[in-house]
Amino acid sequence: MPAPSPNEDRNFWTGRICGPLVSLMQSAGYSKRAQGFFEDFTRDLVVSHLGPRPTKSPRTGQLIPHFDSFCCDDFSPVEYAWNISGMDEATYKMTINLGSEPISQLAGTISDPFNQRESIVVMSRLSSERGVDGRLWDHFRKHLHVEDGATAAHDIMSGMAPNEHTSSNFVAFGFPQDLSIEPLLKVYFSPVPISLRSGQSTDQVIADAMLRVEKELSLDLATSLGKIRDFIQHDTNRRDCEGALRLELLAFDSVQPKKSRFKLYMRTKETSLERLEDIWTLGGRLSLQNGTPTQKGLALQRRTGGHPNEDFAKTVGRHSFIGLSYTEAGPYVTLYYNSMIFSTGDERDAKGRLVGTGAAKQRHLLRADDGTISCFESQA
């Protein structure tokens, strides 16, 4: 059976991605003009870089992805997000975000085992066609991409755990409702391949790369980074390998380096309030005094509760990122929830028919009055 043509691949991804995107924008109040603009933007800069469509297994009839993306549980290379900010209904600001993993024709083969090639193509286009500042991308690519070559790939893959992902990069666009504002691009790097190549921990790989960018681009990140590394090292020393935190992703805004926010993503399946408070405060390194963002966020968490004690997939659970930037006085922690773990299906998610603790959490988030609508945040 012949392989699908590139046009068939694009048609497949367009049908799967653009419909839900437009629906989200409609619900968020985007104008017709903005909906059309970002649909065209997505066709051009996202859909055209998703690679071959999944193929159907002749034995089971199930769709098998061309490359197992770490973007979603089912290996889909695209993820939507709805960000709501503001203090009340009068000031709510809604932004639809679209994240994806560019996938090359050779992704997962010995020629491109960690799917690095298509991200390079996308970033080159964004730089030349949209004027995106690529200095941070160039820096981190130099330090976090695996060199080409079958020997390097074999050495790394032979040391990988059976369920370890092989994704290297993700890109995400924030689509502003005001079309005079350029979509904000975030770029994500996974440290896993380099960690296995060098024998260093993922947090050491990220720290080394960030300290190099600090020196090369005259940024001031060492103080915040030191607090984060100290916390993770302390956490690793007092927990077994399964329970310890691991930095999984580094992200940054692809803007002028001194204006960029850097984010270090970590994940835990431990969901007790004690564990949450430990992460929330970086083991006590962030202040819990009354009135601080950290204290307010923790109080909100205590009112909304946790989720059932189940063995969820690797890409769900409580997902935190630690942020730092050139202008911040110290690191800040943000906590994300995946609504899949609270409901019985996508339709219930879309219509808000959540169950159990998820229903309670949704009701609370809809009436939150302190600006923490789409996520919870703590800060030094």
* Predicted local distance difference test score (pLDDT) of residue 111: 87
* Predicted local distance difference test score (pLDDT) of residue 306: 47
pLDDT-based confidence at residue 188 (cuts at 50, 70, 90): very high
Distance CA 280, CA 333 (A): 6
pLDDT-based confidence at residue 347 (cuts at 50, 70, 90): low
pLDDT-based confidence at residue 304 (cuts at 50, 70, 90): low
The yes-or-no verdict on residue 367 having pLDDT over 70 is no
The yes-or-no verdict on residue 43 having pLDDT over 90 is yes
Distance CA 269, CA 263 (A): 20
| Residue with the two structure tokens 């504002």 | 181
pLDDT for 260-303, tens place per residue? 988 888 776 676 667 777 777 788 777 666 666 666 666 766 66
Q: What is the mean pLDDT of residues 197-211?
A: 88
With a pLDDT cut of 70, the percent of the chain lying above it is 67
* Predicted local distance difference test score (pLDDT) of residue 359: 38
pLDDT-based confidence at residue 329 (cuts at 50, 70, 90): low
Distance CA 217, CA 135 (A): 9
Beta bridge partners of 322: 264, 333
- CA 363 vs CA 51, 86, 297, 354, 356: distances in Å: 39, 17, 16, 10, 11
With a pLDDT cut of 90, the percent of the chain lying above it is 33
Q: What is the mean pLDDT of residues 311-331?
A: 49
pLDDT for 118-176, tens place per residue? 999 999 999 999 999 999 999 999 999 988 766 677 777 777 776 778 889 999 999 99
pTM of the model: 0.79
**β-strands 376-379, 318-325: how paired?**
unpaired
Distance CA 353, CA 20 (A): 18
- Greater model confidence, 130 or 60: 130
pLDDT for 70-105, tens place per residue? 777 667 889 988 887 765 667 778 899 999 999 999
Q: What is the mean pLDDT of residues 209-216?
A: 89
For residue 294, the SS3 value is: helix
For residue 62, the SS3 value is: coil
- Give the best-scoring range by mean pLDDT among 147-161, 199-213, 317-331: 199-213
* Predicted local distance difference test score (pLDDT) of residue 59: 86
Averaged pLDDT of the chain: 77
Beta bridge partners of 247: 266
* Predicted local distance difference test score (pLDDT) of residue 373: 31
Among candidates 202, 49, 197, which has minimal Cα distance to 123? 49
- Greater model confidence, 315 or 72: 72
